[in-house]
Structures are given as structure tokens and as C-alpha cells.
Chain A
């Protein structure tokens, strides 16, 4: 499970370089994100456009990451593929996260 991280117009953009966030990698995903987020501040956008499958374990891991964000940092999502988007909508988790169409619209919005 790899990420690439870069700054874009004052936000931190983290792209998940994996096609699945499932039960096989959920714990690793959470642990890697915890390390990475330790000194996060401001808006952090998780770009999921390469992820074409997520299950409830993966969804739970993303919720866990949101909960461990340090004070003053906020986790947002971008680039949800059709199946991932449906999982967020079905579980109503789309009401918990700020979700952007893609990383460009995330950087253009001042949420």
C-alpha cells in the first residue's frame, strides 16, 4: 500500500496508489496513514481515483483515519470511482466527508 503526497495550493494531496482498499490491506492502510497524518495540518485531501474497489473494512479504515486526524487538520476525499462512490452513498458516509470530484476541484474549492 503506497501513497504519493504533494502540496497543491495550500492543501496536502495524498494519492492512494492501489486499486483496492479491502480487508487484506485495511489495517496496513490505517497504520500507514496514522504515521503520515501525525503532523498534518489544514486540509488533507485523499485522492482515491486509482481505487476501484472498497469493502466495509476499507471504508472503516478511512473513517478511522478521519478520527485520528490531529486537531486543526481535516480529511477530505476526492476522485471516488463508481463502485467506491456507491459504497459511500449506500452507507451514508458521503454525508460525513467533504467529497470532491477530483483533486483539481478539491484545490479550487475553499471548504
Chain B
């Protein structure tokens, strides 16, 4: 594996999944499998999967309120420097019509008060360099772009 700049990493993946944590896991595994056989792919330790997982988990948990019959459409486009991701769901809109600000958790508290959640939007906003959300006629659309580093050569 060579850690050089990827001249021509272009991979587009489109998939539709059901709104359960197991389906999120399966979808991410399929994406990772496709990336593994691509001539170039995100470097080990790249955070793209965390960002995508957090978006999908939020749709499962908040837009669909843990209902398992929701539909999520995802389109990922990897190029040499960025991942562009588009998500569509038909669940509840974001409260206030805008994604949460993702304030970092307050850790300066006694042990028993440490937060066990609320890291998701902080991670998404920290990793993304562009984020757009729209809601229309019961359809939520989220677009995000994040810088990636990639490597070429066989795995």
C-alpha cells in the first residue's frame, strides 16, 4: 500500500436501507467492501465512516424514532480529496428545521454526570466542511462533504 496522492479515486455508491441499527451496520460494511477492492480508497484511520454512521444513526433514532420500517437513501461519492454524501429520509424533520449545532460535551463534571450521548452531531460537524439540510413535503435531505485522505495500491 502506497501512501501517495490518489490521482483518480472516483467511486460512487448508491444504496437504500431500512431504518435499523443492523441495516446501518450492513450498509457500512458493503461500502467498506466496495472501497476495499477500489484501486484507491480512504486511508486506514480515515474518519469518513464515523461521519456517515452518525448521520445514519441519527436518522434511525430521531427522524424515524426507532421505527424499523423507515426508508433511507444514501449516495456516496468518493474522489481523491473528498467524500460527498447525500441522504434522504421520510421521517420527522430536524427540530427547528436545522441540524443540531453539535456543541462539545461538557466533561468538567463529576464522573457520574459524564455524558453517554450527544457526541454525534459534534463529530459530524467537526468532520464535515459543508453541510446542507432541507425539508420539503415530508422529505428530509442532508448533504455533507468531508475531506478524506486516500491511498492507492492493493490492500
A contacts, CB < 8 Å to B = 20, 22-24, 53-57, 59-61, 63-64, 66-67, 81-83, 86-87, 90-93, 95-96
Contact = CB atoms under 8 A, between A and B. Distances in A.
30 contacts: A22-B24, A22-B53, A23-B53, A23-B57, A23-B60, A24-B24, A53-B50, A53-B53, A55-B50, A55-B53, A55-B120, A56-B118, A56-B120, A57-B57, A57-B117, A60-B115, A60-B119, A63-B115, A66-B111, A67-B114, A67-B116, A83-B44, A86-B50, A87-B50, A87-B123, A91-B119, A91-B122, A92-B107, A93-B107, A96-B107
Nearest to B49: A53
A91 B121 CA distance: 11
A37 to B, nearest CB: 15
B57 A55 contact: yes
Interface in B13-43: 21-22, 24-25
A101 to B, nearest CB: 16
Interface of B: 21-22, 24-25, 44-47, 49-50, 53-54, 57, 60-61, 104-105, 107, 111-112, 114-120, 122-123, 126
Contacts of B61: 23
B114 A91 contact: no
Nearest to A52: B44
B47 A86 contact: yes
Q: Is the interface of A mostly helix, strand, loop or mixed?
A: helix
Contacts of A20: 25
A82 B24 contact: no
A90 B123 contact: yes
Contacts of A81: 45
A56 B54 contact: yes
Contacts of A24: 21-22, 24-25
A61 B45 CA distance: 21
A86 B46 CA distance: 9
